Amino acid sequence: MKQATKHLLVAAAALGLTACGSDLFPAESNPMTTVAPITDMGVAIQSVYGTITWITIVIGVLVLALSAYVLVVYRDKGQTENPEQVHGNPTLEIGWTLAPVVIVVMILVPTVTTIFELGDAAPEDKVEVKVIGKRWWWEFRYVPDGDMIKEEIVTANQIHLPANKTASFLITSDSVIHSFWVPRLGGKRDAVPGRTNRMWWTMMPPCSTVEGGIEGQTCTDTQPKDGEPLHFYGECAEFCGEQHAQMKFDVYVDTEGDFRKWADNMLNPKAPEDEKALQGKALFNELGCTACHAITGHQGAVSAKAPNLTNFGERPRIAAGVVENTHENLVAWIRNPDEIKHGSTKRANISRGPRGADDGMNVAPIAGKSDDTDEDGYPNFSEEDLDKLATYLRALK
Amino acid sequence: MATIAPQTDTQVVVHEEDNSVWSWITTVDHKRIGKMYLASAFLFFLFGGIEALLVRAQLAVPNSTLISAQTYNELFTMHATTMVFLAIMPLSAAFFNYLIPLQIGARDVVFPRVNAYGWWLFLFGALFIQLPFILNLMPGVFDGPVIPDGGWFGYSNQTSAKYSPGLSIDFWMLGLQIVGLASLVASFNFITTILNLRAPGMTLFRVPVFTWMGMVVNFLLAMSLPMITVGLLLLMFDRNYGTNFYTPANGGDPLLWQHLFWLFGHPEVYILILPAMGIVSEVLPTASKKPLFGAPFVIFSGILIGFIGFGVWSHHMFTVGLGPVADAAFSITTMIIAVPTAVKIFNWLATLWGGRIQFTTASLFAISFIGLFTIGGLSGVMHASPPVDLQHQDSYFVVAHFHYVLFGGAIFGLFSGFYFYWPKMYGVMLNETLGKISWGVMFLGMNLCFFPMHFLGAQGMPRRYYTYDAGLNWETWNLVATIGAFTLALGVGISAVNMVRGWLKQGEKAPADPWDAATLEWSLPTPVPHFNFQTVPTVHSDRPFWDEKHEGGPPVSQARINEDPHKHVEMPPPSYWPIVASCLTGLFFVCFMLGKGYGAFDYDAFMTQMYVQIPVAVALFAVILLWSREDATPH
């Protein structure tokens, strides 16, 4: 028996470790960990999460230990007599009906208070971003606030947020249901077509300035430095069709100064001057890219059908997080989107004939230079054109 | 403590039964129907398992290109659809069919032919749902995917004609209607059987706990299936005839589907788990040679779980933005369910306490059920809290949770049932050595496969991702989970071999009462005669057979109460009308494929549908008329 008890204690200790989520899944090695929060929303969730985790682990270990005890003690030891035929014990049974009620109440009190806390309206001092789930990418539209956001800023698959203000999101979809999730920064909210969900969070102050540290978290710095934004990964959490796994986005938390610079640059981007880039710019019009893509500072490129490409060159990844933003990858992506991300709407929307999209988004008649297409009706771009286009797009920063 | 000598099988004269294929097609015998459910559902279980292995193979390493995104979506959709509707539900139905009449001292169910109709309808629907795998082998014939790819939950408006233009969703949607109707038919049959055909003296609280859970489950089926039927009907109207129930652009609401689906879907969870709980409640007392501790508490908890199960559906929707009041309300109802569930676990442990526990394969599965289900139940309490669920929802944590409930719970309970009831059903003992090896491998594989998914969820990995990037620290646990999945498959394979051996009658001949059990089914000779009880016993307690054997109670076994082994028992004759009627019913639903307007009303397609569907409907009514006019004099 002693040996068994020892094993149980070791097992309990091992299980207990899992409760210290931020120790077991620290942010340094787990970029998408859900248990090392650095926003007020994340910390509010974590405090309920931690309480419930501990309660369930203690109950689980007790029940499993009790089972093990029963199995060892009451195993058939070769007796011939049948055991005493006990049919029940009302006192005991009422007891173990009431015990779970008490535990449930212990869990419900912090749960319900936190639900209403998270449901509160966002503070006034905020940056508000409209999040629109697309198939399969994200559009972000910053609501002008007269201060940091002077006019609407539109971007795709990448958000910048100032560390000193609350980030408030108005989440919806133009297609099917998606779910907006940046695990390190807060919980998820579904993007449901036809309705707008709200969610907001504020970065925690630097851990070292909070007395006693931040609950459920080791002391990692929560504040960016100038020129060194914090980088987080976001993803879609609701199944939304073929490329559900490939609608990822990047979140940067900037210092106030960096954020203002970024916002100004988004509204007044520098025009590329390189010769090849300028040829690419001309091709962007000629090939009909402007039918779908908008680029601030590129005259005539204002369509909101496809991702806004303003300052495309500064985005870390392309095709909603599928591949690194390199020249070769961009060329491959435009040459044949299916190779990077099969089934993407990019391919369907500019393909002619029966393989093209029939959802009102198709721009095949104006895409490409000629009727030269592959068997699915997708334009065959020349390698020279692709090179120029990619050069132009990557020069936008 | 007097122990009565085991009965001899000569006390009932059993005539050699007709074993021809035709006799199985026309059978109305609940035991044969139960066996057919068991065989088909077990095959579907293996098929769904292979789908899961492909999914796990794809996820073994990051950026894997083994399986395409589309195929992956088809695989996880069909894995869940198959496991839920074509494996666990019909495996439960197999035990309901075989056991309920035997446990309550009845000679068959109330409506034996309707029972046969329900079985053939299930088979029709199940094959229809799987048909796309064959059609998929003919590339170019169909435009777009044919294998269902919208998830077993089929969320609108992903399933709309606009976003799922192929035939894939149609197979899923109509197939579910057919198997749903089959379950609905069966549920009325079992409820009326339990209420009306109990042996004299068997009051409701003398009904065995498995049959009690069967009654709760069949009430749940009867009340929850209409919700998904309506949901699927609205979906069919949207897809076929251009209505807009779920289309937000035209004033519809995709969340309507979620409400209808989960109003069915959450009771469905209890439909899946309660039969296993019933089996465990039979196996554990037998294994510990004691009565079930606090049987009324266990039964009332089951009833309570059934009732509250209808009031928790929105806990699947904590992230859709229903507002804090709804979230709080559904969080409270959900956590309340933990109470009756905990009561059951404590009562099972108290049953083992003070017992003389026999470690048979059946009891090993039942005992591990308690531990695994406890883990699954506790992780369920975690995401019953909406703030926590904002991190858990649609992550691998949820996948871990419900696999502990559905594999560690439902499947382990059903496997316990296979080993426990096999001797009664097939007349041979399953090999215990193979059984115990299988249990050990499955137990190991199950924990290796599903426990790491808790970690993956905590690390932020979402469900239904066909691929993931390297560098997120998801590699290790995904690989472990894949190794676990294949281990699990090995364990299941060993049991499958064991069952095939048992089915081929290779093994020790089973005595009538191999486990020294307490309820009426064990008092019958093995093989159970066509008419079950030649003389229907009068029951005086909740453990009539145990009391006869060990407590000097009044006899219930045929060996002691059957006075005339040649007594003629009138049984309903076989009939081919049920299979004909079920095929026509299935065809009636299939006809809806013809009227597909791809999101708009297509007059020509609709008329084509009518030209075929109306004659099918007329034929169906004619068959029902002939069925009712058939000479069904008992023989």
- The mean pLDDT value of chain B amounts to 94
Q: What is the pTM of this model?
A: 0.94
Mean pLDDT of A273-294: 92
Cβ B462–A236 below 8 Å, yes or no?
Answer: yes
Query: Distance from CA of residue B168 to its chain's centroid?
Result: 24
**What span, in angstroms and rounded, lies between the C-alpha atoms of B74 and B62?**
20
Cβ neighbours of B465 in A, within 8 Å: 244-245
Which sign does the torsion angle of CA A91, A93, A96, A97 carry? negative
Å from A297 to nearest chain B CA?
32
Cα distance between the two ends of chain A: 69
**What span, in angstroms and rounded, lies between the C-alpha atoms of A68 and A75?**
11
Please determine, for residue A271, whether its predicted confidence score (pLDDT) is greater than 60. Answer: yes
Mean pLDDT of B279-287: 97
Cβ neighbours of B70 in A, within 8 Å: 242, 342-343
Cβ neighbours of A45 in B, within 8 Å: 387-388, 390-391
Q: At residue A397, what is the residue type?
A: K
- The mean pLDDT value of chain A amounts to 88
Mean pLDDT of B33-57: 97
Please determine, for residue A15, whether its predicted confidence score (pLDDT) is greater than 60. Answer: no
For A181, name the nearest residue in chain B, comparing CA atoms only: B391
Peptide bond preceding B527: is omega within 30 degrees of 0, i.e. cis? yes
Question: Cα angle at A90 between A86 and A96, to 5 degrees?
Answer: 105
Least confident of A5-9, A200-204, B367-371: A5-9
pLDDT digits (tens, 9 = 90+) for A352-385: 766 666 666 777 777 766 678 888 888 889 999 9
Please determine, for residue A206, whether its predicted confidence score (pLDDT) is greater than 80. Answer: no
| Strand residues in chain A grouped as ranges (E) | 126-133, 138-142, 153-156, 158-162, 166-173, 178-181, 188-191, 197-201, 230-236, 249-254, 317-318, 323-324
Q: At residue A229, what is the residue type?
A: P
Mean pLDDT of B384-403: 96
What is the per-residue pLDDT for A65?
A: 96
Q: What is the DSSP letter of B18?
A: P
What is the per-residue pLDDT for B11?
A: 60
Mean pLDDT of A187-192: 96
Cβ neighbours of A51 in B, within 8 Å: none
Residue A51 contacts B where some CB pair is shorter than 8 Å: no
Please determine, for residue B562, whether its predicted confidence score (pLDDT) is greater than 90. Answer: no
What residues have CB less than 8 Å from B527, skipping those under 6 apart? B14, B427
Name which of B288, B346, B352 is nearest A96 (Cβ-Cβ).
B346
What is the per-residue pLDDT for A175?
A: 92
Closest CA to B357 of B284, B287, B293: B287
Cβ neighbours of B346 in A, within 8 Å: 93, 96
pLDDT digits (tens, 9 = 90+) for A75-123: 999 888 899 999 999 999 999 999 999 999 999 999 999 999 998 888 9
**What span, in angstroms and rounded, lies between the C-alpha atoms of B199 and B562?**
15
Closest CA to B136 of B167, B97, B113, B114: B167
**What span, in angstroms and rounded, lies between the C-alpha atoms of B51 and A348?**
29
Q: What is the DSSP letter of A208?
A: G
Residue A83 contacts B where some CB pair is shorter than 8 Å: yes
pLDDT digits (tens, 9 = 90+) for B117-148: 999 999 999 999 999 999 999 877 887 889 99
| Strand residues in B502-631 grouped as ranges (E) | none
Cβ A18–B388 below 8 Å, yes or no?
Answer: no
- Prediction ipTM score: 0.93
Least confident of A32-46, B379-393, B475-489, B574-588: A32-46
Please determine, for residue B1, whether its predicted confidence score (pLDDT) is greater than 60. Answer: no
Please determine, for residue B10, whether its predicted confidence score (pLDDT) is greater than 90. Answer: no
**Percent of chain A whose predicted confidence (pLDDT) is above 90:** 69
Cβ B468–A96 below 8 Å, yes or no?
Answer: no
What residues have CB less than 8 Å from A109, skipping those under 6 apart? none
Name which of A60, A66, A74 is nearest B354 (Cβ-Cβ).
A74
Q: At residue A317, what is the residue type?
A: R
Which sign does the torsion angle of CA B111, B117, B118, B119 carry? positive
For A243, name the nearest residue in chain B, comparing CA atoms only: B69
C-alpha count within 13 angstroms, C-beta hemisphere, residue B490: 13
Q: At residue B533, what is the residue type?
A: F
Closest CA to A48 of A101, A116, A98: A116
Cβ atoms within 10 A of the Cβ of B569, count?
A: 14
For A35, name the nearest residue in chain B, comparing CA atoms only: B458
SS3 A396: coil
What is the per-residue pLDDT for A10?
A: 46
Cβ neighbours of A235 in B, within 8 Å: 460, 462
**What span, in angstroms and rounded, lies between the C-alpha atoms of A363 and A351?**
8
Chain A to chain B, count of Cβ pairs less than 8 Å apart?
A: 287
Q: State the DSSP string of A258-278.
A: HHHHHHHHHHSPPPP--HHHH
What is the per-residue pLDDT for A103?
A: 94
Please determine, for residue A275, whether its predicted confidence score (pLDDT) is greater than 60. Answer: yes
Q: State the DSSP string of B253-265.
A: -HHHHHHHHHHHH
What is the per-residue pLDDT for A370?
A: 62
What is the per-residue pLDDT for B3?
A: 44
Q: State the DSSP string of A158-206.
A: EEEEETTSEEEEEEEESSS-EEEE-TTT--EEEE-BT--EEEEE-BPPP
> CB of B97 within 8 A of CB of B62?
no
Q: For chain A, positions 153-212, list CB contacts with chain B under 8 A.
A: 175-177, 179, 181, 183-184, 186-190, 192-195, 197-198
Which sign does the torsion angle of CA B441, B443, B448, B453 carry? positive
CA dist B195 to B28, B257, B589, Å?
Answer: 20, 34, 32
Å from A233 to nearest chain B CA?
10
Long-range contacts of A224-232 (CB under 8 A, 24+ apart): A224/A163, A224/A253, A224/A254, A224/A255, A224/A258, A225/A255, A226/A255, A226/A257, A226/A258, A227/A258, A229/A160, A229/A253, A229/A254, A229/A255, A229/A258, A230/A163, A231/A316, A232/A31, A232/A182, A232/A184, A232/A185
pLDDT digits (tens, 9 = 90+) for A298-349: 999 999 999 999 999 999 999 999 999 999 999 999 999 999 999 888 888 8
pLDDT-derived band at A212 (thresholds 50, 70, 90) equals low
Cβ A241–B163 below 8 Å, yes or no?
Answer: yes
Q: State the DSSP string of B415-449.
A: HHHHHHHHHHHHSBPPPHHHHHHHHHHHHHHHHHH
Residues found in chain A: 397
Mean pLDDT of A238-261: 96
> CB of B616 within 8 A of CB of B629?
no
What is the per-residue pLDDT for B5?
A: 45
Please determine, for residue A12, whether its predicted confidence score (pLDDT) is greater than 90. Answer: no
Closest CA to B518 of B211, B280, B283: B283
Interface with chain B: mutation pick from A170, A176, A199, highest number of B CBs within 10 Å: A176
Six-digit token string for B66: 């083994």
Closest CA to B136 of B78, B59, B53: B78
What is the per-residue pLDDT for A14?
A: 43
Strand partners, A158: A250
Strand partners, A131: A140, A171
Please determine, for residue B609, whether its predicted confidence score (pLDDT) is greater than 80. Answer: yes
What residues have CB less than 8 Å from B262, skipping those under 6 apart? B313, B314, B316, B317
Query: Distance from CA of residue B415 to its chain's centroid?
Result: 12
Mean pLDDT of B318-324: 94
What is the per-residue pLDDT for A2?
A: 47
Please determine, for residue B572, whether its predicted confidence score (pLDDT) is greater than 70. Answer: yes
Mean pLDDT of A263-267: 95
Q: Is B23 left (phi over 0), alpha (psi -120 to 50) or beta?
A: alpha
pLDDT-derived band at B243 (thresholds 50, 70, 90) equals very high
pLDDT digits (tens, 9 = 90+) for B144-177: 889 999 999 999 999 999 899 889 999 999 999 9
Helix, strand, coil distribution of chain B in percent, nearest 5: 70, 0, 30
CA dist B249 to A173, A196, A363, B230, B258, Å?
Answer: 11, 14, 21, 22, 17
Mean pLDDT of B200-223: 96
Closest CA to B261 of B186, B336, B314: B314
Cα distance between the two ends of chain B: 42
**What span, in angstroms and rounded, lies between the C-alpha atoms of B435 and B491?**
9
**What span, in angstroms and rounded, lies between the C-alpha atoms of B357 and B222?**
37
> CB of A159 within 8 A of CB of A129?
yes
Please determine, for residue A217, whether its predicted confidence score (pLDDT) is greater than 90. Answer: no
3-state secondary structure B278-339: HHHHHHHHHHHCCCCCCHHHHHHHHHHHHHHHHHCHHHHHCCCCCCHHHHHHHHHHHHHHHH
SS3 B560: helix
Cβ B69–A87 below 8 Å, yes or no?
Answer: no
pLDDT-derived band at A350 (thresholds 50, 70, 90) equals confident
For B161, name the nearest residue in chain A, comparing CA atoms only: A359
SS3 B360: coil
